[in-house]
Chains A and B, each alone.
Chain A
Amino acid sequence: MQKWWILLLLITLASCRHDIRYEASDVILSRPDTVFTARVAIDLLEKKFSSPLGLQVHSFGAFMVYWDGFKVGQNGIPSTPGRPEVAGTETSYYQIPDKLSGLGKHEVVIRGTQIHLLEVERSVMAKPESYLKLLRQPLIELSLVNLMAGAFLIAAIYYTFLYYNSKYKQRTTLLFAVICFLFFALLALEYLKYYIDIPYTQFYTRLIVVGWLTFAIAVLIPLYFTIHFNLPYKLLFIGVLLVALLCIYIVNYDHYDLTARLYSLTLWIASVLILLYALVKKQRGSILVLAGFAASMVINQYMFYDFGLYIAFTIILLCILYLQTLAAKQLEEAHQASQLLSSRLQLELIKKNIQPHFLRNTLTSLMDWVEESPAQGVRFIQALSLEFDIMNEIAERSLIPIRQEIELCRHHLSVMQFRKEITYVWEDRGIQDDELIPPAIIHTMLENGITHSVPSDEGSVRFLLAFSRTGLHKQYIFEAFAENQERSGHQGGNGFRYIEARLKESYGDRWDLSSEPFAGGWRNIIRIDL
């Protein structure tokens, strides 16, 4: 809200700008060497204020200013033989005595020396204005500029902290922090002239730095969009942009204001191109940002105020801020989804032991053992309870020691041995005790193996788990040595979805799973990239 009021104030200020009417002659400048005299004839036609008259002078050098022959002030100290020049500032202000500021013809004489930057042939300018307004104008401008600069400094600091303290180090976050900081620096530097007297000898230093800051922003804002909207050929695009900006720099060398404006235009065009791409791809936020860019162009075109460009920049940065929050929301959603996945997987693991297929078949066999051979039945119950124990221990974890997984598999095999009355043999090779693995994934493969294996001639089914590790990845090979029974339907599919989801939970995309028959049985391979 506050910002809108200030905008309103600006528009009002812009509209009632001319409260003085005058005609000024061309500057008659005589500069034989380092000494110069400039004369301007001013005809005051109308004054709409009663406060003192002021004079604004733009000139390089160190000089005295005379109004109708009366010295109204001095800027720097002109050099005299034996004393070097003390450089004045490019812009200086003077108060005109009331008795000399009546309507009619007046003459301004500026006399002094300019030792440096003579080659620039900087023009001299003198403008009468309400003295009060001359004093007040910078305050008004600064109030708005400081507001913007402060906001972006805070944003820069906030997003830097956010980047360093965030689990997900998003490049766009850091990039946004950098852009905010550069923009803060740009505003601060642009308006530094109101705080300190910059000697005219350093006048171009500020413009050069402002130019390069604009250059950097013109690269980084489109870069931000390419990353955020995931543009293809990012490097190529940014490369072309860089070349374009460098061309502008070289062609318009020394035309500081023009260069900065052209940089901004390039920024605008490059960004709009990316945004149009994003719009075609129906990416979230593209319409709003595009609208922001349109608004910034309108403001830049129709507000002839000094800082129209900066308001345009501010709108663009606000749009990026909006994209930043969109990205944060997406992260939040992804995080929630992953948490949901984890709890779903936990549930699935717990369900393994109570799903009807397992539980009711086990209970049926158990009934039979109890009825037919109670002593064996008791051993069966013990095996079952051991499997349950381990399931219970691992249920809430996303990674468990491989030895625990093997224990689980062995207990499962002894349960299944009671049920199926098939001899199951477990072997493992190369297992490293400190290795971790998502819970029950080998167990799931074992279940599939039991369901789909028919004992070969010796009447037994053998399972082998082998671990190996290279510089690039670690690998589990799990093999069932038996006759394969046709695999179709749900059970296997469900199991594999569980394994895949578990691998994804712990390793992201850095894994590979294969499962296929070989001459002597079935082979599963889990490969995890290091």
Chain B
Amino acid sequence: MKILIIEDEARIAKRLARMTRAYFEQQLELTVCDTLSRGLAYIEQSAIDVLLLDLNLNGENGFEVLEAMVARPFHTIIVSAYSDKAITAFSYGVLDFVPKPFDEARLFQAFGRLISKNTLPDSPLEYLAVRKGGMIKMIEAGQLSYIKGSGIYSELHLQGGKRELHDKSLDMLEQLLPPNGFVRIHRSYIVSLLQAEKLVIEAGGRYSIQLKSGELLPVGRSRYKELRGKMI
């Protein structure tokens, strides 16, 4: 697990580092940056899995930085004093928001979300940030029809047929998307329940789901039961 901590207060950075080491024990590659600019420079050069980010969300560019981070192929956990901004941060698609001051249990809970699936976040994701030609584009979650996994990327299929590429993997997006609105139907597909029309059983016992747009998507055998339960 490659983790980057961006925190300008030495004492808090040390605390985060100590607790992170305690949680992940041996399989950890930890880097600490004491300024945002150094941290951003590090991200450009090295791949990471999780970012622990102290962000001044009251500042003018706090959310700009946040948008840029959530578009990346890693999970972002915000560790911030501005706890009143938690809901907005969640809507942008952070894995968790740890308000300061925090103890070990709270930080461990955030790390827990990396592993366990279907842990409901405090508030739902509302936007997916997509990097496109050096710009960040915010896509409303309600616009999604389905998502198709494509290696380390995901294809966001929007209503009306538009497509966008997201840097995060399908597994990572599944962790962020609200489970009551989106369902993993297949190794390679997540579908928006609002866009699902009906379940189809094809010849040979293969399951599919038909979307309101008419598209047919395959449903994994093991996921059929769960899906049927959610659609009724």
Contact = CB atoms under 8 A, between A and B. Distances in A.
Interface in B96-114: 99-103
Interface residues of B, number: 24
Given A356-B83, A365-B12, A368-B11, 8 more contacts: A361-B12, A361-B100, A364-B81, A367-B102, A368-B12, A368-B15, A418-B11, A485-B35
Contact of A422 (B10, B56, B103): B10
Given A356-B83, A357-B82, A360-B83, A489 B59 contact: yes
B97 to A, nearest CB: 13
B81 A367 contact: no
A98 interface: no
Looking at A363, A368, A491, the one whose CB has the most chain B CB atoms below 10 A away is A368
B15 A364 contact: yes
Contacts of A491: 56, 59
A360 B81 contact: yes
Contacts, number: 73
Given A356-B81, A490-B58, A420 B35 contact: no
Looking at A367, A418, A422, A488, the one whose CB has the most chain B CB atoms below 10 A away is A367
Interface string A151-165: 000000000000000
A367 B103 contact: yes
Contact of A489 (B9, B12, B56, B82): B56
B2 interface: no
Contacts of B10: 419-422
A198 to B, nearest CB: 80
Contacts of A419: 9-12
A369 interface: yes
Contact of A490 (B14, B59, B100, B101): B59
B37 interface: yes
Given A422-B10, A489-B59, A491-B59, A454 B101 contact: no
B74 to A, nearest CB: 24
Interface string A488-517: 111100000000000000000000000000
Given A356-B82, A357-B82, A454-B35, A364 B59 contact: no
B44 interface: no
B14 A364 contact: no
A486 B61 CA distance: 13
B25 interface: no
Contacts of B122: none
Interface string B42-63: 0000000000000010111110
B54 to A, nearest CB: 9
A459 B9 CA distance: 14
A192 interface: no
